[in-house]
Amino acid sequence: MKKASGIDGSRDWGLEKVYLHSTRQNLWNNDYLEFLVKCVWKIDKPVKIIDFGCGYGYLAQMLLPLVPKESLYKGVDISEDLIDEAREIFSGSKEVCFEVADLNEYEPDAEYDIAICQAVLRHVTKPEDIMKKMIGAVKENGLVICIEPSRRMENAGIYIDNRTYDPFENDDFLKQRWLSEEQSGGRDYQIGMKAPGFMEKLGLKNIGVRINDYVDFISAGTDDFESEQRRFIIDHGVDEKYADSNVYFAARCHVISYGYKK
């Protein structure tokens, strides 16, 4: 299997399927995505969509029921494992196809109405170059959408309901980690905030920026509390001792930036 060498040195998302699935169960309010599709982006006729770094096709599952019938979707990802799963999920669907490719080398024709990515620019070493390819993939007036985290906002969105919990406890550690990732030419912890600026620099027009409004409100110790959610908060710097016994919120605040090709 091809390894995801384009991402932060070693991470192969095919090996992180369970985590990916779990985080996707708690990522969007359907009504908010529907509002974006119908009221903000006003997608009212069939569209051809390309999803950069599509994973197992989560966005296809979310978007296709919301866009007009006869819309077409293509997902591209470096992980063969995830693409295999995506093909299985959509087997029998003529409107959907997938391709295994490294986005760093991928050169799509300008044939799409919409190029979208979610949580992908955060994991590539040259996000602006990938955004350029997204712009290259759409026709004139085509829509480019990037849904990306800003790790400072994401971490600020975690709250543990315990008097002894100190939300500032890991700030220095995370700051060092994020800065060293950035300085080593790797991942950009603020990519969600930078994406609109890249869009402007790359010549998109009518740029808009929104925030995903989903908030995960979960009581640890209940049946709803999955081990992968526990992993999420520990990964975000929360001490393990708080992970099992307290109510917490996680507002990931992914930044949704979009703009149109001139």
Ligand X SMILES: C[S@@+](CC[C@H](N)C(=O)[O-])C[C@H]1O[C@@H](n2cnc3c(N)ncnc32)[C@H](O)[C@@H]1O
Residues 227-246 binding ligand X (CB under 6 A) are: none
DSSP for 158-194, written as a single string = EEE--TT--TTTTHHHHHHHHHHHHHTT---TTHHHH
Taking residue 108's Cβ as centre, other Cβ atoms within 10 Å add up to 19
Strands 112-118 and 138-148: parallel
How far are the Cα atoms of 33, 37, 40, 181 from residue 44, in angstroms, in the given order?
A: 14, 9, 11, 41
- Nearest approach, Cβ of 140 to ligand X (angstroms)? 26
**120 near ligand X, judged by CB under 6 A:** yes
Taking residue 176's Cβ as centre, other Cβ atoms within 10 Å add up to 10
**84 near ligand X, judged by CB under 6 A:** no
Q: Sign (positive/negative) of CA torsion 158, 159, 162, 166?
A: positive
Interaction mask 179-198, ligand X, x per CB under 6 A:
--------------------
- Nearest approach, Cβ of 19 to ligand X (angstroms)? 9
CA–CA separation, 250 and 151 (whole Å): 12
Q: Are 179 and 223 in contact (CB under 8 A)?
A: no
CA–CA separation, 19 and 137 (whole Å): 30
- Nearest approach, Cβ of 11 to ligand X (angstroms)? 8
**85 near ligand X, judged by CB under 6 A:** no
**137 near ligand X, judged by CB under 6 A:** no
Q: Which is nearer to ligand X, 57 or 259 (CB)?
A: 57
Residue from 24, 126, 152, 177 touching ligand X (CB under 6 A): that is 24
Q: Which is nearer to ligand X, 77 or 188 (CB)?
A: 77
Kind plus residue range of the DSSP H or E element containing 240:
none
E-assigned strands of the chain? Answer: 48-52, 72-77, 96-100, 112-118, 138-148, 158-160, 205-211, 215-219, 247-251, 255-260
**124 near ligand X, judged by CB under 6 A:** yes
**7 near ligand X, judged by CB under 6 A:** yes
Residue from 33, 64, 96, 119 touching ligand X (CB under 6 A): that is 119
Stretch that binds ligand X, among 1-9, 154-162, 195-203, 246-254 (CB under 6 A): 1-9
Interaction mask 87-116, ligand X, x per CB under 6 A:
---------------xxx------------
Residue from 53, 127, 192, 259 touching ligand X (CB under 6 A): that is 53
Contacts to ligand X by CB under 6 A = 4, 6-7, 13, 20, 24, 53-55, 58-59, 77-79, 82, 102-104, 118-120, 123-124
